[in-house]
Amino acid sequence: MHDIHNNIATVQTLDPAVTTASRFGAPIDRRGFAAVEHIVCIGASAETLSPSLSIACVLEQSENGGDWQPVTAAHEVLGGPVGAGGVFATIDDVAGDQRDYRIGYVGPARYSRVAVVLTGTHEEGTPIAALALLAHAQLKPV
């Protein structure tokens, strides 16, 4: 039977926390899995978000889990384009908070992670958390 419960693994990569400075998620090792989906959950911001006071969700990759580069190639992601610096979502308005942002990584690097990069001075903060879903395991059940 092909059920989702026994065919994915989840990893919390950013602990849920009110965020006032940029944060980098835990590295995800894709070994043993064919796919990884990163999900960033943005809560209700206490800030008045704008282009000069914003949150960017960034996807990064690494061959060794220590040297990180932004993912910028469209063919290495699923679910949307990545911009300069690996940005796959920019939250710069109240309409962008209280939702989640997803990106699938299918590039060649073994490791990937997300970062939330804050622009401007965030005094009150925004609740942010992230997790990764690993799927298509080589050994099942997960």
Beta bridge partners of 59: 114
Beta-carbon count within 10 A of 79 CB? 13
How far, in Å, CA of 90 to CA of 36, rounded? 21
Distance CA 42, CA 27 (A): 20
Interval 68-127: pLDDT, tens: 999 999 999 999 899 989 999 999 999 999 999 999 999 999 999 999 999 999 999 999
Identify the structural domains of the chain with CATH numbers, from first to last. 11-133 (2.60.120.1110)
Report the alpha-carbon distance of residue 62 to residue 70 in Å, rounded: 9
CB atoms within 10 A of CB 136: 13
Q: Pairing state of beta strands 77-78 and 99-105?
A: antiparallel
More confident residue, 34 or 100: 100
Question: What pLDDT is recorded for position 142?
Answer: 61
